[in-house]
Amino acid sequence: MKTIKIIKISFMFCAVFTALMSLQSCGGASNDEALMEASGTETTVTESTPSTQGPDIQVPSPGEMLQFIKILGGKTNKNTSFLNPTANLNAYNEASQKALNFGIYSCDLSYCSVFEIGSETLKYFKTVKQLGDQMGLSSAISNDQLKRLESNVSKSDSLSVITDDIYFTSFSALENSKQGPTIALIMAGGWIESMHIACNLVNFKAQSPASERIADQKYALENIIDYMKKHTGNSMVDNTRTDLENLYKIFQKIEEKEIPSVKSSSGTTVLGGTQQKQLVITATNFKEIAAEISSLRNKYTHIN
């Protein structure tokens, strides 16, 4: 469901991330109950005053999406076959390749930390740092962070916090140096990879929280495209925006229905009204989205 929220990029993941971490630590709720609760946290309508500094955009961090998926798969999932191999790093020579794959590798790093794949977490961190160094982000990704990862390699919650911190510290450095086009490409790469991983881990089931979460990414995609429009004329951004706009056309096939108002015990309306929609995704919608995500992801990670 669509949320109305304008929030500075470095803080946009905190509320849902915290809610998911809390749900994960509650032993009394079943996976289905936890998923419904987590799904509900995203539907709360919140309006906040936009920051006067940096880009205002709401896009889930890779860690946020992956924490949600982890509730489905649990700690037993250790599959890394669908990640971008770290060996591909040296093939990315163009600025657009570096930015897109910085986002992709950052998401892969989050995946390894969320699913407690310790050795892979360290490997992907080193890859993200190496690529970040090439992009002028040495100050944002430090050896101290590597030490933090190494000392917390068996602690999933700590790893998730550290890897999200790396992701958003990099954004802050790029904001400070006025590199909006690079931010746009990193966001696109990270979002595409999180969707790629989700589509590999989620089996479609009508009206399931996981399938609904995939559908709701329509709104994150809208926000990325809108942010890219601010950098029209930059060829790197324009080409990627065209790709995402084609993907958005597939999301537009998902049927929307109105959500009736629901009142809390205090009488406050918490859902519903003209601003609330629920996306009703079908198996065909899911299949088309997954296929296009796979195509774009392969295009961005492809090496000659």
- Three-state SS string over the chain comes to CCCCCCCEHHHCCHHHHHHHHHHHHCCCCCHHHHHHHHHHHCCCCCCCCCCCCCCECCCCCHHHHHHHHHHHHHHHCCCCCCCCCHHHHHHCCCHHHHHHHHHHHHHHHHHHHHCCCHHHHHHHHHHHHHHHHHCCCCCCCCHHHHHHHHHCCCCHHHHHHHHHHHHHHHHHHHHHCCCHHHHHHHHHHHHHHHHHHHHHHCCCCCCCHHHHHHHHHHHHHHHHHHHHHCCCCCHHHHHHHHHHHHHHHHHCCCEEEECCCEECCCCCEEECCCCCEEEECCHHHHHHHHHHHHHHHHHHHCCC
User: How much is the pLDDT for 170?
Assistant: 82
User: How much is the pLDDT for 156?
Assistant: 61
Would you say 112 and 166 are in contact if contact means Cβ atoms under 8 Å apart? no
Each as own residue / partner, the long-range contacts of residues 86-95 (CB below 8 Å, 24 or more positions apart, any chain) are 86/123, 86/124, 86/126, 86/127, 88/301, 88/303, 89/127, 89/130, 89/131, 91/303, 91/304, 92/131, 92/303, 95/182, 95/236
The residues facing 277 across adjacent strands are 258
User: How much is the pLDDT for 12?
Assistant: 33
Would you say 276 and 1 are in contact if contact means Cβ atoms under 8 Å apart? yes
The structure tokens listed for 258 are 């109105």
Q: How many CB atoms lie within 10 A of CB 302?
A: 10
Kindly report, residue by residue over 38-68, the tens digit of the pLDDT: 333 333 323 233 333 334 566 667 777 788 8
User: Could you give phi then psi for residue 183, rounded to 5 degrees?
Assistant: -60, -45
Low-confidence ranges of the chain (pLDDT < 70): 1-60, 72-75, 152-158, 160, 261-275, 304
Q: What is the reported pTM?
A: 0.77
> What's the CA gap between 46 and 118, in Å, rounded?
36
